[in-house]
Structure 1
Amino acid sequence: MRLLRRRERPPDIDGLAADERVLSWADTDDDAFVAATPLGLWWPGPRRIAWEHVVKATWQAGVLRVVEGDVVDDLLLVDRPPVAVRLTVPRDLPPTVRKRVEANIVARELVSVPGGAVRFVSRRLPGRDGVTWWAHLEPGTPDTPELRSAIAARIERLRGGRAVG
């Protein structure tokens, strides 16, 4: 019986920052991998999705689905279409992703607005001090100039009157 086992070596990732390390990874059904680092989730391609841009991540029936958001005007986090990959050897990637996404969110509040709702979310920016606030329009909420103006004013107050992010 072997008492000491060799630890599996994480995959090599092109583009990994010099001080970035792989925390967890999973093999996919197309002979690729998904990896988590302190800065983000490396998706097949490879490309890094920064933790602060992960709007939603789910793992169900062996499939990891991620909704990434684009920051618009340093105010809104707008959903991209979801991406999904089947994990054949998940290792501890799904709980690592959950932990990282949850740890990235500092605070959130849902505010009713005419025609819908806006979710204000305070997020940590990995590798930098402090947090920033962004707004996420709930489905069906119209994006209007008046709403953007109100969002900008509220975010400025939430950020303490200084631009962060």
Structure 2
Amino acid sequence: MKLFRRSPKLPPAMRPALEADERVLAWAHVGEAQDQALVATNRGLWLPDGRRLGWHEIHKAAWSGRELRITPAEVAHERNGYTVLVDAPVIGFLVLEPGELPDQVRTRVTRSVAYTTHHPLPPHGGVRVVGRRISGVDGLSWSVRYDAKTAVDAEPVIEVTDQVVAAARVATAPPS
């Protein structure tokens, strides 16, 4: 029995164009052909099409035991000091030999969230305020996600959202 088992090395043909301080944490073949891979790094998840989703750009990640389903964030609006995000279409990947990939994805997405709170908005609806860490960037990136049926463009909703984001920023600011 080996105490330390090394993971198989990522084939050079599947290695994405990493940044200078980016390192591979886990990877797994996608599909049955085994000519494509998902690659988790300290900066994000590289998809088989060559795009990288930063950990802060992933709303949800679900592992079924055979399929990794990623729900990326999509910017709906840019506001002063924060973005309004919505779910982009879910992307699913068949992963037959996952290794450490699902655990790394879950851990990294979860770790990127430094602050989260939900606020009800009158007359109905609500908003989730999220402060996330971005690898290589100081401070937090602020975003909001509105509940379904919230009047996101109504002036009173925008005003309350501005206030709750400002309060969150103050609450998480380092002491001066």
TM over 0.5: yes
How far off is 1:44 after superposition?
1.3
Question: Given the alignment, which residue of 64, 70, 85 partners 1:66?
Answer: 70
Partners of 2:89 and 2:158 in 1: CA distance: 22
Question: Given the alignment, which residue of 89, 94, 107 partners 2:115?
Answer: 107
Pair 137,5 (structure 1): closer, same or farther in 2 beyond 3 Å: closer
Question: Given the alignment, which residue of 78, 95, 107 partners 2:103?
Answer: 95
The alignment status of 1:26 with 2:28, answered yes or no, reads yes
1:76 counterpart residue number? 84
Q: Spell out the pairing of 1:14-163 with structure 2 (5 A cutoff).
A: 14-29=16-31, 30-31=33-34, 32-71=36-75, 72-73=77-78, 74-113=82-121, 114-146=123-155, 147-160=157-170
Pair 116,27 (structure 1): closer, same or farther in 2 beyond 3 Å: same
State the AA in 2 paired with 1:9. K
Q: Which deviates more, 126-135 or 38-47?
A: 126-135
Unmatched 5+ stretches in structure 1 = none
Partners of 1:117 and 1:19 in 2: CA distance: 39
For these two proteins, the number of residue pairs brought into alignment is 161
Q: Does structure 2 conserve the Cα–Cα contact (< 8 Å) formed by 1:35 and 1:41? A: yes
Q: Does structure 2 conserve the Cα–Cα contact (< 8 Å) formed by 1:66 and 1:82? A: yes
Q: TM-score, normalised by structure 2?
A: 0.81
SS, match of residue 123 in structure 1: strand
Pair 119,8 (structure 1): closer, same or farther in 2 beyond 3 Å: same
Q: Does structure 2 conserve the Cα–Cα contact (< 8 Å) formed by 1:69 and 1:77? A: yes
Partners of 1:9 and 1:24 in 2: CA distance: 9
Identity %: 34
SS, match of residue 129 in structure 2: strand
State the AA in 2 paired with 1:111. H
Q: Does structure 1 conserve the Cα–Cα contact (< 8 Å) formed by 2:129 and 2:164? A: no
Partners of 2:144 and 2:92 in 1: CA distance: 24
Pair 4,90 (structure 1): closer, same or farther in 2 beyond 3 Å: closer
Q: Does structure 1 conserve the Cα–Cα contact (< 8 Å) formed by 2:68 and 2:94? A: yes
How far off is 1:61 after superposition?
3.7
Pair 68,4 (structure 1): closer, same or farther in 2 beyond 3 Å: closer
Structure 1 consecutive aligned stretches of length 4 or more whose deviation exceeds 6 Å? 1-6
Q: CA RMSD in A?
A: 2.4
